[in-house]
Structure 1
């Protein structure tokens, strides 16, 4: 297998969107309305908390590239992320492991988000990872800071704490459920 590197990644035309995971390119699919609505909801909830608490962190929404493992074989584009170490913020990408990452799972990205990225984020030092699967109606919450790579699996009911904020911020998962239900009512 001919492993791709970040040099190959940077050589691609701007209109080609891929992630590089363990030396292999994976297409980044277009983010549809459901995906965007969930990402926007989470960005507003988390962003409001960061603003109101005057936290000295950065919140980014796709499509900021992240050289998460700081190696030549991995470059990803999380849907949302929080970075507390601002020295990691470059002109175009983030260099290092964000504290917190959220991915919104689709049929195209399911295997990648729930397997390849779990290992990559765990091994790279991400503290908390949420994989939100709208089709399954689940949130897979990984707390790598606790030394485990097994998720807590939650449905879209009630609130769940963001652990990197010591539980002071909770996200109402019923907001995600409502977004999914609204999209399910829209005729195709």
Structure 2
């Protein structure tokens, strides 16, 4: 939910937030971020471990960053988001502040307060910014919606009990129900 205001916020406002306050800047509006649940945090940790191990074991050059990690999607200092998990394969996009440009893979874990944002606003934002792959992991509905933006605009919906393939890593498959044990 955006902070109530008629004004348009800038990246200076985003970077001036008080220590510990998390928000995202999208199209001139600041959106507060609610504290995550335990399941939310568990999934972020599991994804970070699995993706990191895969990259390391395959001598990959991509890097995995869990939230909070700032991503400036448009490289113009206008839209700052904090995806739950970001995978960046182009090192030149990494700065001291986070990532400048679109990550290759973004994973968002749906919370009751983020449902509309994850499925609507962020899906469009990530597609427009050039994110290659976007996963919406929905613990309440026990399914993952996967967009492979380079291939098709239509999503694939994978129940937690089935295996999902990570498109940017052709040999990596993840069964979400295994992550929640």
Q: Do these two structures clear the TM 0.5 threshold for a shared fold by scoring above it?
A: yes
Confirm or deny: 8 A CA contact 1:22 1:73 kept in the other structure: yes
Query: Offset of 1:147 from its aligned partner?
Result: 4.1
- Partners of 1:147 and 1:68 lie apart in 2 by 20
The whole-number CA distance in structure 2 between the counterparts of 1:66 and 1:82 is 11
The one-character-per-residue Cα deviations of 1:44-71 (angstroms, maximum 9, x if unpaired) are 2111111100101111111110001223
Runs of 4+ in 1 over 6 A off after TM superposition: none
CA–CA separation in structure 1 for the residues paired with 2:48 and 2:98 = 19
CA contact (8 A) 2:83 2:106 kept: yes
The answer to which of 84-93 and 68-77 deviates more is: 68-77
2:163 is the alignment partner of 1:159:
yes
Equivalent residue pairs, number: 176
Report the counterpart of residue 120 of structure 1 in structure 2.
125
CA distance in 2 between counterparts of 1:8 and 1:140 reads 32
Aligned partners of 1:42, 1:93: CA distance in 2, in Å? 19
Residue 47 of structure 1 corresponds to 52
Q: SS state of the match for residue 107, structure 2?
A: strand
Q: Are the aligned partners of 1:22 and 1:74 in contact in 2 as well (CA < 8 Å)?
A: yes
Report if aligned partners of 1:61, 1:78 keep a CA contact under 8 Å in 2. Answer: yes
> CA separation in 2, counterparts of 1:82 and 1:72?
20
SS across alignment from 1:66: strand
Per the alignment, residue 131 of structure 1 pairs with 136
Using the size of structure 1 for normalisation, the TM-score is: 0.89
Equivalent in the alignment of 1:105 = 110
Higher helix share: 1
CA distance in 1, matches of 2:55, 2:100: 22
TM-score calculated relative to the size of structure 2: 0.92
CA distance in 1, matches of 2:26, 2:141: 24
1:146 is paired with a residue whose SS is coil
Partner Cα separation in structure 2 for residue 19 and residue 82 of structure 1: 18
Query: What RMSD over aligned residues (CA atoms) do the two structures have, in Å?
Result: 1.3
Q: Which runs of 5+ in 1 are unaligned?
A: 183-188
